Amino acid sequence: MDNEKRKQTIKFCIAISVLVIIVLIVISLIVKYQVEGEKNLPFKLSKIIMISTAEGVENNEEVSEEWNLSIYQNNDVYLYIDKDEEHNDGEILSKVLIDNIQVTKAPEKGTVRPYMPNSSEGRLYDYSDEYLVNDKLEYNGAAKSNPKTLEIGSQGGTAYIRFSNTKIGDYTSDKDKEIVHNGTLLSKINVKDEEIKFNVSFDLTIETDRNKYKTTINLEMPNGNLIEDGTTQFEKTDMSDLIFKRVN
């Protein structure tokens, strides 16, 4: 009888030990996924480019001066989505979504507003309210990328969005014969670089015909010494800090 009890006890201990090991393995896999996310995406965010500059937008009010401009500081963000030939098993890119946009650090001067590309002829971006990104910016998969129609290539392409710091100040003058529309305009209204710095975050979802993957991107804008250089460019190719997770 004692031997039988001992056997049962040993079996019970072994079963408990196996169960504990399985639970620990599952927990470690969950923790690893939370830290590292998806590693073998069929489409990957390969590069982020941000071009920062400024421009003067004509005010409607009539003044006697030659120039009557409202100064906007613009940051154009390009998100390059490439097909991963090694891990793509025939999946196609069906949608790229930019949402949950937040200004996590506001500038001292101006108001930050996100804009989608302009669908009409002419310049790529228009400051009309109809092109404001109020909730989300959605690019649908197509034969090729076309920012004006909010389409991205089904085999990979580029998504665009502009973060504009609007109405930083007004410039009125009749002394300048010509105006250069870049960051040097900011010096004409006595604005300093640190006064227009701000941070934004947004979620990026890459959706294929089978799965969705989401990450959060944080960017500081503008990059570099914009007032001195006029136009600056930031490029990010190391995405090791971005964690993509599968979503329903």
One domain, residues 121 and 212: yes
One domain, residues 7 and 50: no
pTM score, whole prediction: 0.85
C-alpha to C-alpha distance for 9 and 42, rounded to whole angstroms: 49
The pLDDT score that the predictor gives to residue 32 is: 58
One domain, residues 25 and 107: no
16 backbone dihedrals φ, ψ, rounded to 5°: -65, -40
For residue 32, the enclosing domain spans 1-36
Q: Which residues contact 190 (CB under 8 A, 6 or more apart)?
A: none
Q: Is the pLDDT confidence value at 60 over 80? A: no
One domain, residues 77 and 168: yes
One domain, residues 140 and 96: yes
Q: Which residues contact 194 (CB under 8 A, 6 or more apart)?
A: 108
116-156 tens-digit pLDDT = 999 887 789 999 999 999 989 999 999 999 999 999 999 99
The pLDDT score that the predictor gives to residue 130 is: 93
**CB-CB neighbours of 101 under 10 Å:** 18
> In whole numbers, what is the pLDDT of the chain averaged over residues?
89
One domain, residues 1 and 101: no
One domain, residues 16 and 64: no
One domain, residues 32 and 42: no
Which phi-psi region, left, alpha or beta, contains residue 150 (left: φ > 0; alpha: ψ -120 to 50)? left
Domain count, the chain: 2
Task: Mark out the alpha helices in the chain (DSSP H runs).
Answer: 2-36, 226-229
Q: Is the pLDDT confidence value at 29 over 60? A: no
The pLDDT score that the predictor gives to residue 3 is: 73
One domain, residues 75 and 164: yes
27 backbone dihedrals φ, ψ, rounded to 5°: -60, -45
